[in-house]
Amino acid sequence: MTLAVRYTAARTLDTAPALDVPPGPGEVQLAPAYVGICGTDLHIFHGDMDARVAAPAVLGHEMSGRIVRVGPDVEGWAPGDAVTVMPLRWDGTCPACRAGHRHICQNLDFIGIDSPGAMQQRWTVPASTLIRLPDALPLDRAALVEPTAVAVHDVGRAALREGEKTVVVGGGPVGILIALVARAAGAEVRVVELSAHRRALAAELGLTVWDPAAEDVPALVGEWTGGAGAEVAFEVSGAAGGVDTAVEVLGVRGRLCLVAIHPRPREINLHRFFWRELTLVGARLYDRADFEKAVALVADGTVPADRLISRTVPLTEAPAAFEALEGGGDVMKILVDCATATTCTTDDATQGATA
């Protein structure tokens, strides 16, 4: 019997037997090893996406694992291969797809939201979604490839250039990953974050971080840039105050990359956009090149994924992990170990991940 974590109603998850779906033509069956819980999963848990998510729904799209079975007409993959999944299935016919933007297909199936996700012990997906992982990369760290791909795509959308002064507003998992990817691209980076725990982690990773509750962030940016303002800002907080800060810190012709999902319309200082000729770009999801770059960044340690993992819990304790993440401030990333039903430490998981 295989198990899955299912969303059944607002603030209600269960662990239940799951169907063992054999792979059909062009499909593979995976044994997920680790699955990360992200902000979108929390939105689903809160009931905010009930119009889109059909309960009972198996969650999870940040994952790593190994191939168990290969379906007909699948070439280049074999049982035992270590993989992650780019959880996007597009129709190939809509205007977005025809324009070359398949990752934001107008009829997109985001696997783990619109169809069953990875938080189960056996998972059948199209072979076309697989991304190969290096054999030496521990599978718990590899579970952070998907959010790292988000950060890679965000940095690309901002057209970040070496040496540019960059402000990341919001130091949660994606914000920290954006800061690390931007730093690797040669930018000078500052992170703005309210949580003391997250500020401490950012500092441990060598990032300069400011507390907007205790410091005048625009003034600090002015001192840092000689009054010019930042070239790039990323809004990752999802808060109205974060939007204000991201706009205010930008210099002439600065670029604001909107990363966070804002559930309601926000007021924005359009006069600032006019006066300084600012640019606003949206950033959503990723493409295969972003994923492949993310694998490289995690594998070579540019993104120290192990430092971002706060806790690893067994599949049967995933519902409690969602509640722990609601507090947010003292937790960065929680992984669900899909192979075990007893609590394990991050160190234990790391040691067993390459077995």
Q: Which residues are catalytic?
A: 40, 43
Report the SS3 class of residue 174.
helix
Position 57, amino acid: A
Sign of CA dihedral 287, 288, 289, 291: positive
DSSP 194: S
Distances (CA, A) of 207 to 187, 214, 346: 12, 18, 23
CA distance 168 to 127: 35
Residues 149 and 46: beta-carbon distance below 8 Å:
no
CA distance 287 to 104: 9
Q: How far apart are the first and last CA of the chain?
A: 23
CA distance 338 to 166: 37
User: Look-up: residue for tokens 């994924």?
Assistant: 305
